[in-house]
């Protein structure tokens, strides 16, 4: 630009200087309808240079004004952005403090000027929901959706989470199903899906999802085990309630080998079959499970169900339990084995054997239950020993009264711990 201007000036200087050097300035006539303008060539050149200078001056002024306008606009924009950032930070602090009304006002007021306006609208929606304003929460979510465009996973996650908080479980269930199709391995989607499926009792869907949850979420081993147990209980209760005992047994036969070999699942089946009065099927599962239960937790859970089992004759189950009791050194397990054997022998009218096992249970009061005293007293009565029967009843009454006296203290301790 400057080079062209410099060449033009040299050219003009030559045009001016040439006629002077030759003694001839030349003549120019500009004629219009009403005007005749006469001038020499040097005058025309000077006029042209002045006109060009005026044009450049006007251009420079306009450019300077535009730069000033842009600078002013940028200053206001930066000011709004800084203000939005300060309000966002203050709003997040208010959310942590539980002042959701103030948090919504601070975060949502200048959300459009924030660094990440979509996140501001989402946080404002969450704050509005926390204070019970569903209308404002939905309004903020609509604004977030407009800004997010096609990349709206974070908005849909927030929407689903808010639907769950609003108690609209069915709508949240539909939303999370769509999100699982959109992002099947997203950790936050999976985490939210677990919460929604548990609240909606969708245990079949949760069972299908468990493999991804196990691989993608950093749940502890204990939490995964708890979730697995919730799924097993939910599926079995669902089948029993909908299809009865026959439906539950048919479903069990169709399950994978892994589930059929799971001790917790088999113990759950045993518990539900006993409750449904199908003791024959329960006995088959009990006999199979008692041989495979190895760790203490599984054994205690299984032995807890066996006292409720009805037997018609001596069985392999009792012999297996006696064999395991003989090799058990753990005092708590010994009590559980003795209790199961005592109750089972009572149902078989083997009162002498039952007395031995039940007395072993009563000798360990830290693991004794109130019903153990009742069953022991009944056993003594059947053996014609009314004196010991009365003695055991008195011990049982003392045991119950002692537990009732301890209950208020335990309740108070539990409240204080909270």
The dihedral through the CA atoms of 170, 228, 259, 256 has a sign that is positive
Fill in the DSSP letter of residue 310: -
Fill in the DSSP letter of residue 256: -
How far apart CA 268 and CA 14 sit, in angstroms, is 109
Q: What is the DSSP string of 373-405?
A: HHHHHHHHHHTT-HHHHHHHHHHHHHHHHHHHH
How many other C-beta atoms are found inside a 10 Å radius of the C-beta of residue 400? Answer: 12
Residue 293's φ and ψ, nearest 5 degrees, are -70, 125
Q: Give me the half-sphere count of Cα atoms (radius 13 Å) on the Cβ side of residue 266.
A: 24
How far apart CA 41 and CA 16 sit, in angstroms, is 7
pLDDT in the model for residue 411: 37
Domain membership flag for residue 89 = no
Domain membership flag for residue 79 = no
- Which residues neighbour 388 within 8 Å (Cβ) at sequence distance 6 or greater? 380
My answer on whether 327 and 384 are in the same domain is: yes
My answer on whether 259 and 291 are in the same domain is: yes
My answer on whether 398 and 316 are in the same domain is: yes
My answer on whether 231 and 275 are in the same domain is: yes
My answer on whether 223 and 279 are in the same domain is: yes
| Among 304, 334, 351, residue at a domain's last position | 304
* Beta bridge pairs of residue 39: 28
pLDDT in the model for residue 346: 93
My answer on whether 377 and 324 are in the same domain is: yes
pLDDT in the model for residue 92: 56
Q: Where does residue 343 fall: left (phi above 0), alpha (psi -120 to 50 degrees), or beta otherwise? A: alpha
Cβ pair 84, 78 in contact under 8 A: no
Domain membership flag for residue 151 = no
CA distances from 407 to 69, 255, 362, 365, 404 (A): 77, 43, 21, 17, 5
Print burial letters for 296-320: b (CB count within 10 Å at least 16), e (below 16).
eebbbbbbebbbebebeeebebbee
Q: In 3-state terms, what secondary structure has residue 327?
A: coil
Domain membership flag for residue 18 = no
My answer on whether 321 and 380 are in the same domain is: yes
The alpha-carbon radius of gyration of the chain (Å, integer) is 44
My answer on whether 341 and 391 are in the same domain is: yes
Q: Shortest CA distance to 108 belongs to which of 95, 91, 96? A: 91
CATH number at residue 365: 1.25.40.10
Domain membership flag for residue 28 = no
Domain membership flag for residue 239 = yes
Number of folded domains that form the chain? 2
My answer on whether 316 and 398 are in the same domain is: yes
My answer on whether 286 and 332 are in the same domain is: no
* Beta bridge pairs of residue 325: none
Q: Shortest CA distance to 161 belongs to which of 146, 150, 172, 174? A: 172
Q: What is the mean pLDDT of each run of 10 residues along the chain (418 residues)?
A: 58 61 62 74 67 73 67 55 62 61 64 64 73 73 71 81 85 90 91 93 93 91 94 94 94 93 94 93 92 90 93 83 93 94 93 94 92 94 93 91 66 35
My answer on whether 271 and 354 are in the same domain is: no
How far apart CA 104 and CA 129 sit, in angstroms, is 9
pLDDT in the model for residue 19: 60
- pTM given for the model: 0.69
Task: Please tell me the total number of residues recorded for the chain in this structure.
Answer: 418
Q: Range of 229's domain?
A: 219-304
| Among 304, 330, 349, residue at a domain's last position | 304
Domain membership flag for residue 95 = no
My answer on whether 334 and 396 are in the same domain is: yes
């Amino acid at each position: 630009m400057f080079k062209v201007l410099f060449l033009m000036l040299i050219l003009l200087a030559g045009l001016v200087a040439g006629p002077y050097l030759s003694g001839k300035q030349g003549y120019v006539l500009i004629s219009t309808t009403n005007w005749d303008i006469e001038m020499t060539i040097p005058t025309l050149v000077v006029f042209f240079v002045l006109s060009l200078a005026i044009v450049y001056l006007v251009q420079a002024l306009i450019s300077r004004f535009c730069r000033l306008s842009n600078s002013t606009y940028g200053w206001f924009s930066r000011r709004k952005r800084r203000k939005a950032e300060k309000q966002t930070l203050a709003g997040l602090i208010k959310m942590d403090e539980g002042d959701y009304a103030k948090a919504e006002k601070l975060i949502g007021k200048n959300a459009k000027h924030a660094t990440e306006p979509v996140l501001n609208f989402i946080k404002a929606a969450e704050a509005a929901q926390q204070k019970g304003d569903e209308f404002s929460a939905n309004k903020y979510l609509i604004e977030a959706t407009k800004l997010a465009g096609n990349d709206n996973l974070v908005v849909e996650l927030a929407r689903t989470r808010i639907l769950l908080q609003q108690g609209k479980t069915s709508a949240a269930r539909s939303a999370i199903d769509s999100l699982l199709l959109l992002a099947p391995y997203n950790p936050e989607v999976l985490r939210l899906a677990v919460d929604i499926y548990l609240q909606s009792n969708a245990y079949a869907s949760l069972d299908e999802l468990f493999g991804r949850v196990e691989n993608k979420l950093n749940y502890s081993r204990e939490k995964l085990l708890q979730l697995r147990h919730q799924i097993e209980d939910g599926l079995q209760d669902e089948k029993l309630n909908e299809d009865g005992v026959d439906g539950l047994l048919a479903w069990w036969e169709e399950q994978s080998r892994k589930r059929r070999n799971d001790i917790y699942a088999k113990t759950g089946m045993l518990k539900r079959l006993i409750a449904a009065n199908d003791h024959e099927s329960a006995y088959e599962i009990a006999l199979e499970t008692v041989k495979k239960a190895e760790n203490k937790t599984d054994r205690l859970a299984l032995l807890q169900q066996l006292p409720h089992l009805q037997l018609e004759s001596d069985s392999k189950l009792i012999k297996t339990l006696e064999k395991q009791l003989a090799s058990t050194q753990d005092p708590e397990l010994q009590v559980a084995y003795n209790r199961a054997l005592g109750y089972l022998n009572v149902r078989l009218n083997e009162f002498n054997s039952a007395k031995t096992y039940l007395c072993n249970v009563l000798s360990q009061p830290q693991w004794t239950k109130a019903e153990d005293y009742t069953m022991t007293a009944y056993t003594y009565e059947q053996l014609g020993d009314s004196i010991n029967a009365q003695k055991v009843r008195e011990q049982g009454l003392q045991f119950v009264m002692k537990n009732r006296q301890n209950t208020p203290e335990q309740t108070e301790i539990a409240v204080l711990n909270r």
